[in-house]
Structure 1
Amino acid sequence: MAPTLVSAAVGALLAAALLGDAFDRRAVAVVVAAALAPSLDAAASLAVPGATNALLHAVWVPLLVGGLLYWDATLRSSSALRERWGPRGVRVAWVALASFVVAGIGSALFAGEGAALLYPLEDARYVVRGRLVFSTREGVVQTFVAPDAEGPGILPLARVGGAVADPVASWVNPDGRPGLDPGADREVRLVDGGWQLVVVAAAAATLAVRFRGRGGSGATDGGDAATDGEVSR
């Protein structure tokens, strides 16, 4: 799985970019929590074989949550989410789902040990491997999108092991298999390399600038509602 701070940083960047007028401390916390949520399947691996990078990294949770959000916010005549939290709540919910997919699942699929996208229907973890370069001889060379018959397809998925047969280690469960070993060496991966530290620093700076642009208030719905009440009086 991706280092914790990296997933959180990507979630924070998504929050800063996509929340718009809904941006405040509470909304950012929800989006960052959604980015970290897929990593909770590591704890489930203590009881469920192959759960790490599988149970919450499969496509089923995003499909289910996305379907429910679309049904409630778009298809229903009266949206429960909108009635409770207003348009702001709908926006935060969609951004949180995007964070879950991009920062949570995507970090494992594109830059980690892989994600078992069809778990438990298939015991396989996949990663997306490709490159984009400019060559003075060959011009632009990219292998991420190759729709021709000889290419790897729209996304060049490469199988890197089985969720159950080749489990992913984590600080919760170092050997990735059911059962707790109290004496095992545990490492919490926060940052694994220099480029990851750059991402974390960029996310921290972006949030600082966004909050400063709002006057550092980090206003929430309650504060906005109070202000509206004072204006109306």
Structure 2
Amino acid sequence: MAPTLLNAALGALLAAALLGPAFDGRTVAVVVAAAVLPNLDAVASLVVTGATNTLLHNVWIPLVLVGLLYWDTALSERSALRERYGWRGVRTAWVALAGFTAAGVAPDLFGTPGANLLYPLEDAYYVVDGLLLFSTQDGIVQTFVSATAEGPGVLPFESLGTTETHSISTWVNPDGRPDLALGSEREFVVVDAGWQAVVVASALASIAIRFRPWARVRTGDTAEDSATEASR
């Protein structure tokens, strides 16, 4: 599982980039919370076999939420979300959904642990891994789309196993199986690669700059822009 701090940092970057005039401490907290929410399925793994990167990491949750949000904010004659929270609530909800998907689920899908993307319709952890480059001798070389011989596979995904054969270790559940494992060593990973530290530092810098008064003005966070957003 990707480090929780990485999920939070990616969520903060999305908040800084996408919230626009809705940017403030509360909306940033909502987006960051949505980004780390998928990691809670590690807690469920204490009682449910293979819950880590499964229960909250499948594709169906984002798809359902996209459908509900689009229907409420674009198709319905009266938007419950807009009536209660205004344009800020609508914008925050969409950015939070992006945080859940891109900052919460995607880092595991594009990393070593993998994500049980189609669960429960198909029980298989998938990972997207490969490279794309241009060679002066071989031209364009890519390894994302390739058939695999191990287990079920959906191109360009590579299957790592199922909930019965593929266990994911977390600090909550070191062995990934339904037990408390009280005697096991627990390690809370802050970052496990240099590029992750760069992402965290970038997120801290972005949020700090956005909270500066002069930065809010220069990025369009004015009363006039807020009124324009409200009229949309």
Assess same fold via TM > 0.5.
yes
Alignment RMSD (CA, Å): 2.3
What's the secondary structure of 1:7's corresponding residue?
A: helix
CA–CA separation in structure 1 for the residues paired with 2:114 and 2:10: 17
The TM-score normalised by the length of structure 1 is 0.85
Q: Is the 8 A contact 2:58 2:118 kept in 1?
A: yes
1:203 is the counterpart of 2:203: yes
CA–CA separation in structure 1 for the residues paired with 2:51 and 2:214: 41
| CA positional deviation for 1:155 | 5.5
CA–CA separation in structure 1 for the residues paired with 2:112 and 2:2: 5
| CA positional deviation for 1:151 | 7.1
CA–CA separation in structure 2 for the residues paired with 1:52 and 1:96: 21
Decide whether aligned partners of structure 1 residues 130 and 104 sit closer, same or farther in structure 2, where only a CA change above 3 A counts.
Answer: same
Paired residues for 1:147-158 under 5 Å: 156-158=156-158
CA–CA separation in structure 2 for the residues paired with 1:135 and 1:151: 22
What's the secondary structure of 1:115's corresponding residue?
A: coil
Counterpart code for 2:158: A
What's the secondary structure of 1:111's corresponding residue?
A: coil
CA–CA separation in structure 1 for the residues paired with 2:195 and 2:168: 23
Q: Is the 8 A contact 1:38 1:57 kept in 2?
A: yes
Q: Is the 8 A contact 2:11 2:35 kept in 1?
A: yes
CA–CA separation in structure 2 for the residues paired with 1:135 and 1:68: 45
| CA positional deviation for 1:154 | 9.6
> Residue in 2 aligned with 1:69?
69
CA–CA separation in structure 2 for the residues paired with 1:19 and 1:142: 34
Gaps of 5+ in 2: 217-222, 228-232
Decide whether aligned partners of structure 1 residues 156 and 96 sit closer, same or farther in structure 2, where only a CA change above 3 A counts.
Answer: same
CA–CA separation in structure 2 for the residues paired with 1:154 and 1:127: 10
Q: Is the 8 A contact 2:116 2:123 kept in 1?
A: yes
1:38 is the counterpart of 2:41: no
Paired residues for 1:97-108 under 5 Å: 97-108=97-108
What's the secondary structure of 2:27's corresponding residue?
A: helix
What's the secondary structure of 2:212's corresponding residue?
A: helix
> Residue in 1 aligned with 2:81?
81
CA–CA separation in structure 1 for the residues paired with 2:112 and 2:206: 24
Paired residues for 1:120-131 under 5 Å: 120-131=120-131
Aligned sequence identity (%): 61
> Residue in 2 aligned with 1:173?
173
| CA positional deviation for 1:140 | 3.6
CA–CA separation in structure 1 for the residues paired with 2:77 and 2:41: 35
Runs of 4+ in 1 over 6 A off after TM superposition: 150-154
Counterpart code for 1:120: P
| CA positional deviation for 1:139 | 3.5
